[in-house]
Amino acid sequence: MKNLTLVSLRSFAISLIYLLTSLSGTIALAHDVKGTVIYVDLWRDHVSFQFEMPVDELSLAFGKETEPGITPLPASTAEIATYVLNHSKVQTPDGKAFTLTANVGESILHDSRNWQQIIVNATAPEGASPREYTLTTDVINHQVVSHHIFIFLRSDFETGQIAEPVYLDTLHYQMHESHFKRAPGSLQLGLWSIFRLGMSHIADGTDHLLFLFTLLLPAGLMISARRRWGERGSARQTTIEIAKIVTAFTLGHSITLLAGTLGIATLPTQFVESMIAASVLISAAHAVYPIFPGKEALIALMFGLIHGLGFASAMHGIGVDGGTLILTVLGFNLGVEVMQAFLVLITLPWIYLLNGSRLGPYLRALGGSLAFIIAAAWLAERSLGIETSILGYVDLVAKQGL
C-alpha cells in the first residue's frame, strides 16, 4: 500500500508540473504581426471592423517623424477615427455603399510598441446582406509603402466561427480591396459552438486554471501553531472546502461574465489581464504560506469577478444581441462550468492524497513556486509590456512535452 501511495504521489507530481507548464500560454494583448490588423465581426445587420494600427507607422502616415520605442499619438483619437473613415469604404457587389461609423477603441502596449484601436461599423443598405461585401482601405500604406494590412474573421455566430480568428486577406500599397462572401448558418450551430468555446476557454485558460488550482492546493489543511500549513482534515472537510471555493469562483465570474458581455461592467483589457495575473500570484503564494487561511472562498469570489471580465473578452464582437445574446452568454457559461467541474472532480482526490502525505508540503511548495514564477512573468508582460525568457522557456517545454 505504501509503494502504491508513493507511485501515486509521483504521478501527481508529474501531473502538477505538466499542468503548470504545458497549459501555459499568454494572452495576446495585440498580435504577432507588424502591420495593421483588422478583425471582422459579422452581425445580423452590419459588419464590424476593428482596426489595430501601430502608432509609430500611423504617425508616419500623418507626416510626423518617429523614434524607437513608445510613440505618442499623431492626433486626437477622434481625428484618427475620422482618418480611418476617410480611407475606408465598404460596398455591396453591385457598388452600393454601406453606412460607416467609427468608435475609438483601446490603446494597447505590446512588444515595446503601442497600438491604437478604431472600430468601424458598416451597416448594409436596405435589401443587402452584410455577409457579402468589398472592403477598400489604404490606412497608413497610402504613405508608408512597406506597410501591410492583415484581415482576420474573428466571429460569425451563425456558422460557429467564434473561437480563433481565421485569416482572410492581406492588403498592401498596390492592393486595397478585399472581397468577402459568407454562407448563412443557424442559431443552433451558433449556440453549440459557443458552448464548446466555453469549455475550451477554461481548458486552455492557463491563468484561470492556475488561480483555481493553486487556491485549491491547501484545501482541507489545518493551521499549525507556527502559522504554517499543518495536518490534513477529513475527506468530508476537504470536499466541503473545495466545493465552497469552486462555488464562490463560479458565482463571481458568472456575474461579471454577464455584466461584461452586456456592457454593464467594463474595464480596460490590460488592467483586467494584469489583475488576473496578480490573482494567480497571490493564490500561489498562499499555497506555500497561509496568507488568508479560512477565507479562500471569499478570495475566490473577489477575484472571480475579475476573471469573469476576462471571460467576457472572449464574447467580444460575437455578432448577436437582444435575447440571443442572453442565450449565448448562458451557453458559454455552461461550457465553462462543465469543463471546470470535470477538472475539479479529477483533481480533488489528488489534492486529498497530496495533503495527507509526507511529500505533500514539498510538492505543494513546488507547485506554488512554479505558479508564482509564471504569474510574475505574466504580470510583467501584461502590465509593463516586458517579455521575459521564462514564458518562452515554458512554451518550449510545453511544445517538447515532458
Are 283 and 371 in a shared domain? yes
Are 79 and 16 in a shared domain? no
**pLDDT level of residue 25 (50, 70, 90 thresholds):** very low
CA 226 – CA 221 distance, rounded (Å): 14
- The residue among 198 and 396 whose pLDDT is bigger is 198
Any residues with CB less than 8 A from the CB of 94 and at least 6 apart, and which? none
Say what the pLDDT of residue 5 is.
Answer: 46
Instruction: Quote the number of domains for the chain.
Output: 2
Q: Which residue is associated with the grid cell 477529513?
A: 234
**Choice among 94-98, 177-181, 292-296 with the minimum mean pLDDT:** 292-296
Domain's final residue, options 156, 185, 214: 185
Query: pLDDT of 118-158, one tens digit each?
Result: 999 999 999 999 999 999 999 999 999 999 999 999 988 88
Say what the pLDDT of residue 376 is.
Answer: 94
- Phi first, then psi, for residue 176 (nearest 5°) are -115, -5
Query: pLDDT of 223-269, one tens digit each?
Result: 776 778 888 888 888 899 999 999 999 999 999 998 988 888 888 88
Which DSSP category does 69 fall into?
S
Are 269 and 125 in a shared domain? no
Which helix H or strand E contains 65, and what residues bound it?
none
Are 383 and 249 in a shared domain? yes
pLDDT at 301 over 90: yes
**pLDDT level of residue 23 (50, 70, 90 thresholds):** very low
Are 259 and 214 in a shared domain? yes
- Cα 237 from chain centre: 34
Are 177 and 220 in a shared domain? no
**pLDDT level of residue 311 (50, 70, 90 thresholds):** confident
Are 95 and 20 in a shared domain? no
CA 172 – CA 149 distance, rounded (Å): 6
Is residue 200 in some structural domain? no
Say what the pLDDT of residue 277 is.
Answer: 93
**Choice among 104-108, 279-283, 333-337, 382-386 with the minimum mean pLDDT:** 382-386
Query: pLDDT of 162-213, one tens digit each?
Result: 767 889 999 998 999 999 998 887 778 888 888 988 888 887 778 888 898 8
Are 350 and 383 in a shared domain? yes
- The residue among 309 and 227 whose pLDDT is bigger is 309
pLDDT at 321 over 60: yes
Are 181 and 242 in a shared domain? no
Is residue 223 in some structural domain? yes
Q: Which three cell numbers stand for residue 237?
A: 472537510
Q: In terms of Cα–Cα distance, which of 214, 181, 193, 226 is closest to 319?
A: 193
Mean pLDDT computed over every residue of the chain: 84
Q: Where are the alpha helices (DSSP H) in 217-234?
A: none
Are 253 and 309 in a shared domain? yes
Q: In terms of Cα–Cα distance, which of 315, 246, 306 is closest to 281?
A: 306
What is the percent of the chain where pLDDT is above 90?
48
Query: pLDDT of 328-337, one tens digit each?
Result: 888 889 999 9
As a residue count, the chain comes to 402
Global confidence as pTM: 0.64
Query: pLDDT of 3-15, one tens digit each?
Result: 444 444 444 444 4
Query: pLDDT of 48-76, one tens digit each?
Result: 999 999 999 999 999 998 876 678 899 99
pLDDT at 19 over 80: no
Expressed as residue numbers, the domain containing 13 is 2-25+205-400
Say what the pLDDT of residue 395 is.
Answer: 61
**pLDDT level of residue 318 (50, 70, 90 thresholds):** low
**pLDDT level of residue 161 (50, 70, 90 thresholds):** confident
Are 259 and 154 in a shared domain? no
